[in-house]
Amino acid sequence: MKKKNYLTKGNNMLTKRIKSFLYPYLYRRQDINLQKQDAIIKKHDEMFQSLEKLKIYIDYQKDEINKKTEHLCSVNSQLIINQMTVQNAQLTNEVAILKNTLNALSRKVRNRSEVIHCLFLVHNVSAWDSLSPVYEAMLKDNAFQPVVASINKKFPGDISFSGEEIVDKKLSQLDIKHIRLKSENSYEDLEIIKTINPDVIFRQSQWDADIPPAFSSEELNFAQLAYVPYEIMNFLGNVDPNIENSQFHKNCSMLFVANKYAYDSLKSNTSINDDHIYMTGHPKVEKLLASESEWPIDWPDERRNYRVIWGAHHSIEHNWSNFGTFMTVYPQMLDWAKKNSQVDIVFSPHPALLTTLLSEKYDSVRQGIEDFFKQWDELPNTSLFTNDTYGPLFQASDALIVDGISWLLEYQILDKPVIFIERDDHLPFLPSGDIIAEGVYRVAGFNDAVKYIEDLMTTSEDSLKQQRKNTLSELAHIKNASVNILKVIKENLR
C-alpha cells in the first residue's frame, strides 16, 4: 500500500509562514538601539530553536503515523485512529503554543516609528460608519497612517465566504483608498497583512465565524487589536455571552465603549481586564449627525411624500434574541404600500436577514418571499436599501418602523419618531435598554404601527421628543469619540 506523506507539505508551509512572520522584525531594526537589537535577536534565536524542535516533533509524528498506517488492515483500525487523533491534537496544541508565544513577542518588540500604522478590516459596509470617523480622524493626524482593507464575510445562511466585491464597490464610491484581501486561501492575505506590519488592527465584528479564518483573533494578535462595536451599545440581558466576552474581546488591547453602562457591562460580566476598556463615546453618533440627506425614491412631479424607513432584524426565529418580525409583517407592509401612494417606504433589512431567508428551512414559503421582493421592487413608492451606510437615509426620512435592535437607539439620535414592533418573547432589556425603550413608541403589531404613522402625518404631534432628549443625554452624551479614540491609541503605543 502506498503511503501518503500528509505532514511534509504542512511542515514546510508552517516554517515558511512563521519565518515570513518574523522576518519583518528582523530587518526593520534601524531605529532600535544596539542593546535592544541584541536582546531582540537573542529572543528570535530562541524562537527559531523552538521552531526547529517543533519540526523534529512533526517529523517524528509523521513517521509514527505512516508506520501505523501500514498496519491498518491487520489490527483494530479504530484504536489506531484514536491514537492518531490524540497525537494530532497534541501537535496542534504545540503549534498554538508557539504561535501565541511568537505573537506575544511581536507585540513587545515591534519597531515603533513616529507613525502609527493602523489597519481596518471591513467586511460589512452597513457597519462602516462605526469606524469611518476614526479613519477620517487618522487621515488628518500626522501621527497615523491608516490602511483600509476589504474582505469577505459569511453571515447566517451563507454557505461560503463572499461579498468582498460589494465592500470594494462601496469603498470606491466613498473615495476611500483601500486594498483588496479576497484570496481563496485567506492565509495568503494574512501574509500581506504581516508585510504591512500594522501596529493596530481594527475589526468590525467580535464574531470570528463572520470572517475568513486567517482574520481570527488567534491569527491577528501579533498586533494590538482594537474594537469599536458596530452597534452603539449592547442593551440586552441574557444574550449570547460571546457578544461581550468573545475570544476577540479577550485578545483586544483596546475596547472602546459609548458610555458608563457599556463600560460597567463589560467590566462586570466578562473576564476582560478592565485596563483594556476605554469609555470614549461612540463614533457612529458623530457620523449619523454629520451625514447629508439622501432619499432613494424620486417622483417626476418632485412631490415629497411622508418618508418611512422599515427596518427588520435577522432574529426571526426563536433561538437567539427573538426580535425579528419580518415573517409576519411583510405581507401587511406590502399591502399598506400598495394602498398608500402618499407614503414612501424604504425597506432596510439587516444584512443577515437576507442570508437567513436563503436557508432551506424557508423553502416552504420561498415563493411568497420572492413574490414580495418582486412586487416591492415594482411599486413606485417603495425601495430596498442594502449594502450601504445609512446615515443619509436616516437624515432624509421622517419616521422609522423597526423590530430591533441597534436602530432603537441610533434613530433617536436624529430626534425622529421610532415605532417599535415588539415581540413578547424577545430577550429582556438591561437598564440601559429600558431607558432606550422609553424613547420609542412600543406596539404589539403592524396595525398599531401604522396608526402611529397616520397620526404623525396628520397632526405632527410627537409626544416622545423630550424623552428622546433624556435618552441621548444619558447614553450618548460623550462627544468627539474619534478624537478620544486616537488619544487612547497614542497613549497605549507610547
pLDDT digits (tens, 9 = 90+) for 14-35: 444 444 444 443 334 334 444 5
Q: What are phi and psi of 146, to 5 degrees?
A: -85, 145
Q: What's the CATH superfamily of 110-282+480-493?
A: Glycogen Phosphorylase B; (3.40.50.2000)
Give the whole-number percent of the chain exceeding pLDDT 70: 77
The answer to whether 281 touches 259, Cβ cutoff 8 Å, is yes
How many Å apart are CA 493 and CA 491, to the nearest integer? 6
Q: For residue range 153-171, what is the model confidence (pLDDT) as tens digits?
A: 999 888 899 999 999 999 9
Q: Tell me the C-alpha distance between 354 and 4, whole Å.
A: 43
What separation, in Å, do the N-terminal and C-terminal C-alpha atoms of the chain show? 60
Give start-end residues of each CATH 3.40.50.2000 domain in the chain. Answer: 110-282+480-493, 293-476
Q: Are 196 and 119 in contact (CB under 8 A)?
A: yes
CATH for 293-476 is 3.40.50.2000
The answer to whether residue 467 scores a pLDDT higher than 50 is yes
Q: Model pTM?
A: 0.79
Q: What is the pLDDT of residues 382-404, one digit of tens each?
A: 999 999 999 999 999 999 999 99
Which cell is 424 given?
413578547
Nearest Cα residue to 200 out of 279, 117, 143? 117
pLDDT (0 to 100) of residue 357: 95
- Report the pLDDT value the prediction gives residue 243, as an integer from 0 to 100: 84
